[in-house]
């Protein structure tokens, strides 16, 4: 596709369940970011992948959060034992080598009930 694709668009889950969020970056983009957007809180950095380098996980809020990127392309963000405070919009972005701006997907709205 032409842009960053995220699925699902919306996810409602029960507290304590695990969820997986998927991001399909723009083809050829080597950098991939995950951010979390909570109401009134702006964008919170979660994790950054660059090529085959070890990811920068410094923004992950707890060990319940993890992410992987397979084959330098698709990424999956996993949240284990979801809590109500995990409710937010999860945004994925990618950028090309040598480019400074990132391109965002439409996000996954996660609601934990």
Binding region for other proteins (CB under 8 A): 4, 6, 31, 33, 35, 40-43, 45, 48, 50, 56, 59, 91, 93, 100-107
In terms of CB distance, is 55 or 80 closer to other proteins? 55
The DSSP call for residue 73 is S
* Token pair of 35 as six digits: 């951010």
* Distance between CA atoms of residues 75 and 22, nearest Å: 6
Q: Least Å distance between CB 10 and other proteins?
A: 10
In terms of CB distance, is 44 or 80 closer to other proteins? 44
* Pair 85, 16: CB distance under 8 Å: no
């Amino acid at each position: 596709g032409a842009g960053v694709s995220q699925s699902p668009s919306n996810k409602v889950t029960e507290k304590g369940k695990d969820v997986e969020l998927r991001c399909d970056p723009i083809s050829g983009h080597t950098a991939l970011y995950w951010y979390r957007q909570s109401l009134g809180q702006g964008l919170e950095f979660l994790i950054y992948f660059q090529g085959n380098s070890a990811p920068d996980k410094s923004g992950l809020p707890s060990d319940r959060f993890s992410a992987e990127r397979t084959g330098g392309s698709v990424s999956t963000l996993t949240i284990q034992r979801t809590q109500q405070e995990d409710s937010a919009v999860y945004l994925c972005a990618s950028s090309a080598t040598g480019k400074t701006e990132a391109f965002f997907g439409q996000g996954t709205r996660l609601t934990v009930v």
